Amino acid sequence: MNAALPLSSLPAAMRDEQHFPVVIVGAGPTGLMLANLLGLQGIKTLVVERNTDTVGEPRAVTIDDESLRTVQAAGLLDEVLPQVVQGYGVHYHSWRGKEFARIEPKSQEYGFPKRNAFRQQLLVGELRDGLQRFDHTAIWFGHELTGFRDEGEAGGGETVHLALSHDGQTRHITCQWLVASDGGRSKVREQLGIALKGSTYDEKWLIVDLLDRVSAFRHTSTYCDPVRPAIRLPGPQGTLRYEFMLHEGEDAEQVLDEGNVRGWIRARNPADAQLAITRKVVYAFHARVAERWQSGRVFLAGDAAHLTPPFAGQGMNSGVRDAANLAWKLAAVVRGEMAPSLLATYAQERKPHAWSLIEMAVRIGRFMQPKSVLAAMLAQGALRLCSLYPPARDYVLQLKFKPRPRFGEGFFLRGERPEALVPAGQLLPQPRVELPGGSQVPLDDVLGHGFAWLGLADATPPTDLRLPCRMVRVVAQRDDFLRPEPGIDAALRDIDGSLESILRSAGARAVLLRPDRYVLAYLGYGGARDEPDLHQWHAGFAAQPSTAC
């Protein structure tokens, strides 16, 4: 239930009439990424943050390929990528300290390595500064949301009223849509009365961040030791993180003693024990998801919507996925191109995928935390046996056990061409492509920020899609560029043939992509009966008749 705001009783002179189509609560990675993506879409957006600046302490330390693709979409890759250590793996060590397995994925399906080390405070700093590109976005630091009233729930209105506390004063503003990315202890979620479902685990972990490491080794070391499970994570700019599991009954204050901390580090790497400590904290981990992600005109995103155990490095990355999914939908609705019913697909798409990653993290955690030497021997021995079978070894080493970015239902043509290499509702890979003139760029750099149609040479550009989109001709690997075609915005050569393979596997000549690069539908099957009825499907989401592509 929303916190009561007696706005109707306030004199008009006391009300702040500032209005924003979108207000985001929380200037963490999720909120700032969402604000940047909305900024690129031309949507007037306000970020409200109770602190006086972005958080300066290191939190998340792993950014994956999907998140870097979203950084690319936000136009900040040149600023962020130099601060990232790309392509690190994980080396697993037994209870005897001997390495028994490695995960070092080499593929770059979405244009970047699957695992990358970064410093969260540097990323949020770049996202914060990135908003200065837009004159229609703003961040109000030192402003705390103290209450809100959603007229959409109260009586069918189209406004959310907000009360903000700043320097002892109360400020009133309004918005069309409110997004709460205010963390695991979200006050917005609490005021809405939305419960978290899942588990909080008894095990606590000690995190220690250090500076100026002398070892250049860049891969994570995971010690699956029942005596003291531990993780060593090298980061950018010579940073280093250790994580140690605490046992039941161990006192958090005692384990934070510096002598104790350095002793545990020394047992793993003596040289690391001499490094400067910048942060040490004890935390419990959670595997929980909000029962609802939308209440009227209010949405939950990031940790406000889901809490992920740290073992898979997916907590922050799941929040970035939330931002990528929600941004283009909010923009389309605010611009009047799509009906508000489109926004119901946000939770429909994101919630199951977020939970699948939580479950993956829990499974990895069980493997990392053997309860006894016997349990460690059995689990580690089973992994050694699996590595003798190439398909099983590849499944582990290339991180194929990670749930694919694919939706069961949502804003796409369900059940269409399930035999396709990339079915509808799944994220399209991002190969490098060639432009006329010979330069090579990532695919998304050609597609722009909205819907896109990718068609082979034998595909006829559509004239009545009723979606504002960019038309891109795909030139086959074996073919040459011809003169520009009317109605085609860009042409690219399929250097490695992957785009043609995806289309041919679906029996299609073209693919329609969403702004977040998920497959919306395949087109051009060659027969009228086989062609999807996009018009009838789109009618359920269209706000009004729109201009054809």
3-state class (DSSP) for residue 174? strand
Inter-residue contact 512 to 465 (CB < 8 Å): yes
pLDDT for res 386: 64
Q: Is the domain of 38 the same as that of 129?
A: yes
The owner of tokens 């350095």 is 262
Dist. CA 357–CA 6, nearest whole Å: 41
Spatial distance between the Cα atoms of 520 and 454, rounded to a whole number of angstroms = 12
- In the listed set 327, 360, 393, which residue is the last one of a domain according to the structure? 360
Residue 391, pLDDT score: 64
Q: pLDDT value at position 155? A: 53
Residues 266 and 297 in one domain: no
CATH of the domain at 500: 3.40.30.10
Provide the pairing of β-strand 137-141 with 45-49. parallel
Does some domain include residue 378? no
Residues 266, 152: one domain?
no
**Are 51 and 135 within one domain?**
yes
Reading the block at residue 517, the tokens are 């690069």
Rounded Cα gap, residues 466 and 332, in angstroms: 13
Summarize pLDDT for 363-395 with one digit per residue, the tens: 777 766 666 676 666 666 666 666 665 665 555
54 with 16, same domain: the answer is yes
Domain around 28: 7-61+119-195+291-360
Structural domains of the chain, count = 3
Residues 167 and 219 occupy one common structural domain: no
Residues, the chain, total?
549
Predicted pLDDT at 528: 47
Can you give the pLDDT at residue 479?
Answer: 93
Are residues 15 and 136 both part of a single domain?
yes
Q: pLDDT means per 10 residues in the chain (549 residues)?
A: 40 57 97 98 96 87 95 98 91 82 85 93 96 96 95 73 94 96 95 90 84 93 87 93 89 90 95 95 89 96 91 85 98 94 96 89 72 66 62 55 86 79 96 96 96 94 83 94 91 96 94 96 69 68 52
Q: Determine the pLDDT at residue 5.
A: 43
Specify whether 301 is located in the same domain as 280.
Answer: no
pTM of the model: 0.90
Give the C-alpha separation, 9 to 79, whole Å: 48
Same structural domain, 458 and 519 = yes
Report angle CA 499, 504, 505 to the nearest 5 degrees.
100
Q: Choose one of 286, 319, 336: the last residue of a domain.
A: 286
Q: Are 365 and 311 in contact (CB under 8 A)?
A: yes
In this structure, the answer to whether residues 173 and 227 fall within a common structural domain is no
Q: Transcribe 505-517 into DSSP letters.
A: HTT-SEEEE-TTS
Please check whether residues 280 and 351 belong to one and the same domain: no
